[in-house]
Structure 1
Amino acid sequence: MEHRGHRPAEHATHPEHGHAAHHHVAGGGVPSWRTAAQATLHCLTGCAIGEVMGMVIGTALALSAGATVALAVVLAFVFGYALTMRGVLKAGLPVRQALKVALAADTVSILVMEVIDNAVMVAVPGAMDAGLASFLFWGALAFALVIAFLLTVPVNRWLIARGKGHAVVHAHH
């Protein structure tokens, strides 16, 4: 329950969204780093599923580095949006509105994450050509996702503070 002059510290976990409780910032202000980290982790989940699938498929099919990265990016967006849509569809939004919410909530976060993690993968010598049985491939991919997460948290914090990004999802709980 919200009281005058009091910011709600936290709302309950929403199982329909599959993510932990988030801190909200009433009337603007700066969201907590925890809020930004949780939003980024939510985004990272979808991105990682698509990224790993794209890297595995591209590597298994011996696609070029560019084709593998393109596939990974497309799948990261598909799975990132799908996870957000799943939650807002369960909350009762129609498909078209759920897609609009997912696009507004996740596009910047996924884009930043994808640029960073794919740049890291390409920058690690031999990672893209290492093969699926190689520690280099999996180690580089895990490292790339961690770096992407760490560098995307401040972006999501900035977006949430402005009522954008993942903050858009919470209007539909």
Structure 2
Amino acid sequence: MKYSRLAMLLFTASLAPTGTFAAEQAQVTQTQQQAPNVAEFDKQMVQAQDTFKKMQAQMEKIQQTQDPQQRQKLLQEHWSAMQNAMSMMNGMWGPGMMGRGHMMGGSHKMGWHDYANMTPEQQSQRQYMMDRYTGMQQMMMDNMMKHQNYMQGQPPTKPGQ
């Protein structure tokens, strides 16, 4: 009887996953959760590019107008467009997109250690998305600087002047 209980316990224990297997399964699950969704990212990039085109057209109108009241109205529309673009950009950092959280607002949750848990394909996808996102950040900064210059009553200078 004593041996049959011990045999049953050993048999049951042999069927249960080992600590190493459980850790591997957790790592696989974590990697699957971090897998970038490039198709969704590209879809959002198209929307962001449309927003930036709209912002560029607004900036061109601001540059052309001579009426201070009209310029203020256009600057307000441009400000709203920038806020929408920033919200869209923050949304691109949601789960399954570029990371588990977003990097804005002090909640930097995507670190270098995350790359160790990714497959080479996932790393490549993440890098592609980061490269595209960085370009979008630069466009946003350019728009913010132009907007700020106009708010201060100074039209932005052209590069090389």
Q: TM-score under structure 2 normalisation?
A: 0.30
Structure whose alpha-carbon radius of gyration is higher: 2
Could you say which structure has the higher helix fraction? Answer: 2
TM (normalized to structure 1)? 0.29
